[in-house]
Structure 1
Amino acid sequence: MTTSFGFTVSQRASLIGGDPLKDLIRLGAQAEQSEFIDTIWVGDSLTVKPRPDAIVLLGALASLTERVRLGVACMATFPVRDPIQFALQWSSLDNLSDGRSLLAVCNGTQKAGGGSEIEGGYFGGITDPERPLRLEENIRIVRALWTGETVDFDGEFTSFRDLRITPTVQQPAPIWIAGMPAFNTKLGDRFFERVARYADGYQITTRSASVIAAAREQISAAFDRLGLPHREIPIAAYTGVAVGEDRAKTLATVGGFLDGYYGRGAFAPERLGFAGAFGSLDETVEQLVELVESGVDHISLRLLSLDTRAQFDLLVSEVLPAVAAATPIASAALQAVR
């Protein structure tokens, strides 16, 4: 098993005191120069945690890069976006990037303050319980339209006749599903059945080896419940990273970043350690090595600091080379994310 790495451009940071958006995009393009980075990701939200639009930024990155895959971690607005318009936008991105698109979708449910319910109200009154149903239907729609054939579709939320879009995707565009439901619950079972039915990959926010192992078991059980033949579902871990003098001081910096990003108190102090790999250089490398050894297929790293340039330089010049020296990680092979 070989693990590959990705880099996340956290564009919301430009709105909370971080580097200007153009500088963040240039940093994303620079990440392609690292032999250890195979994917570049951006975030997504319309009103819950506002930020510059994901598809626009991926278009910019497509023009500035040639090798890395380009993805969204995750497309939280996928259930509320118009699926026909989205199919055209994403196929255009796929053409612009010469077939390097990687779509990771999620429900985008945000219970705090009723954020996703409020957002759904701006799009015709989409409720939180509708989001997973719309996500499934929208996946079916975009995949049908990406074939380039004329499509008739009768859905619960969207119906149309004799529709064909161009351009189409250059090759079957992968769609991953992201989320971290409670395992062994009714909602959790339904989530992993969705992964088994519709996903080309699964993205989870964790750095825990035991959680990765449990997720594989959940996916396998979902195939069994559905009576579907098992197929390979690569797993990507979306995790934060920050390097400092020591773990205690780094966690304080991370806590300040997350308070600005999600709102004060969104992460309780006792939960900060689960948000990523943090600490001194040696501590950070050790935590990432543990994650690689879990057998996870891909790790997308997000800098949890407003000192973006310094943290990026540490990541590509010291952290990833040290992890590569200790574990079998991919060198720009793109093998885990196709």
Structure 2
Amino acid sequence: MTTTGLVLPVRHRPVSYGYDAILRLAEYADAHDGWDTLWVADSIMALPFLDSGVLLAALAARTRRARLGIGCMASLGFRHPVTVARQWADLDALSGGRMLLAACPGNGTGTAVENELRTFGLDYREKVARFEEAVAFLREVSTGATSFQGPFTQVENLDLGEGFVQRPLPVWVAANPSPRAGQATVDRLLGRVARLGDGWMTFNVTPSQLRTRVDRLYELRAQVRPEETGPLEVCVFLNTNVGLDPATVLEDARERWFQTAPRGVSVEDLDGIAAIGSPEQAADLIGRLSEAGATHLAIEPLSTDVPAQVEALTELLLPRLPRGMSAGSRPDGAVAPPPPRHPAHLRP
């Protein structure tokens, strides 16, 4: 079964529709059971994002059904693991066990990234090592462990109060091999997922590439963690823009792309890795990704008008997905509030 999540707009600038619109979008999506997860991004200095922990706490207070995810937590290697564990134990409790952490080591190049590394007094190799240890630490303490001994973190008598509702906390690992990456690079990045993750988050992947890499991920996990035989979560981060006028949709998507273009991806690549066009076209791509092994889609509205695109996705795309694809629920069985009669409340 493939579930669907909405990636919320979390940049400091530009937020022409106001910060509170982020919370209104979350409430709107939480009221529609087609949205299973609400996602936020993460950065401390390199990218202009709202603080992920602060925003997740606000979302926990304003929603009651959808899972709350961070994808990916690129700052994990900078943060002290005990502080992260304290925050996430409380977030899991406040949300009723709805938290989901997708972690990554972050990028290692670029002026802003290099400045961030200097600020924290780390080189990229050490940041990656600290990130890997933090994932292992979170998995252990979220099951109730009170001590941990690692190269960077030594803890005794850790008390997290009531602690995590989810034991263990779900931790996915992000890895994004280039479409042109050689097998050694693919194995290195997927090998980290196999060693550390309960799931894999990725983007910039076609259905055929996804199928090949999912198969390889299971092969690698069998080598490094043979005791783990259950299914892995596979999350594809998918830029999406749907509408009834193909020309308008493409123009809007391209304009937004040039505002926030990810590294290593050109606008020409969008044809194979983004769901842009009619609702039927987007649903077809999502269906093929699901067949290729995706268990979750993190859908980011690739639009200059995010509230309007969220409305279009909710009204035009979600009804075209198989009913089994989106069946989000809280661990305590709570149901969603009734959806609003219209989405006008998304705007100030």
Residue type at the aligned position of 1:133: A
Hey, what does 1:87 align to over in structure 2? 85
DSSP-derived class of the 1:317 partner: helix
Does the 8 Å contact 1:38/1:334 carry over to 2?
A: no
The CA distance in 2 between the partners of 1:99 and 1:117, in whole Å, is 36
| Match 1:138 to one of 134, 137, 147 | 134
The CA distance in 2 between the partners of 1:162 and 1:47, in whole Å, is 32
Hey, what does 1:115 align to over in structure 2? 112
Q: CA deviation at 1:15?
A: 1.2
The CA distance in 1 between the partners of 2:195 and 2:160, in whole Å, is 25
Gaps of 5+ in 1: none
Does the 8 Å contact 2:257/2:267 carry over to 1?
A: no
Does the 8 Å contact 1:192/1:222 carry over to 2?
A: yes
Structure 1 residues 334 and 283 mapped into 2: Cα distance closer, same or farther (>3 Å)? farther
Q: CA deviation at 1:309?
A: 1.9
Gaps of 5+ in 2: 332-348
Does the 8 Å contact 1:71/1:102 carry over to 2?
A: yes
C-alpha deviations, 1:131-155, integer Å up to 9, x for none?
33212101122233334443142x2
Q: CA deviation at 1:89?
A: 0.8
What is the root-mean-square deviation of aligned Cα atoms in Å? 2.4
Q: CA deviation at 1:187?
A: 3.9
* Percent of pairs with identical residues: 30
Structure 1 residues 147 and 333 mapped into 2: Cα distance closer, same or farther (>3 Å)? closer
The CA distance in 1 between the partners of 2:259 and 2:264, in whole Å, is 10
Does the 8 Å contact 2:173/2:193 carry over to 1?
A: yes
Structure 1 residues 232 and 286 mapped into 2: Cα distance closer, same or farther (>3 Å)? closer
Hey, what does 1:194 align to over in structure 2? 192
Hey, what does 1:290 align to over in structure 2? 288
Hey, what does 2:163 align to over in structure 1? 168
C-alpha deviations, 1:242-276, integer Å up to 9, x for none?
1245545433322321322248x975332233452
Hey, what does 1:23 align to over in structure 2? 21
TM-score (norm 2): 0.85
The CA distance in 2 between the partners of 1:231 and 1:204, in whole Å, is 20
Hey, what does 1:302 align to over in structure 2? 300
Structure 1 residues 141 and 20 mapped into 2: Cα distance closer, same or farther (>3 Å)? same
Structure 1 residues 218 and 334 mapped into 2: Cα distance closer, same or farther (>3 Å)? farther
Does the 8 Å contact 1:247/1:283 carry over to 2?
A: no
Does the 8 Å contact 2:96/2:330 carry over to 1?
A: no
Q: CA deviation at 1:74?
A: 0.9
| Match 1:52 to one of 9, 29, 50 | 50
DSSP-derived class of the 2:300 partner: strand
In the alignment, is residue 177 of structure 1 matched against residue 173 of structure 2?
A: yes
Hey, what does 1:33 align to over in structure 2? 31
Counterparts in 2 of 1:249-264, with a 5 A limit? 249-262=248-261
Q: CA deviation at 1:92?
A: 0.9
Q: CA deviation at 1:231?
A: 3.1
Hey, what does 1:128 align to over in structure 2? 124
Hey, what does 1:42 align to over in structure 2? 40
Q: CA deviation at 1:91?
A: 0.8
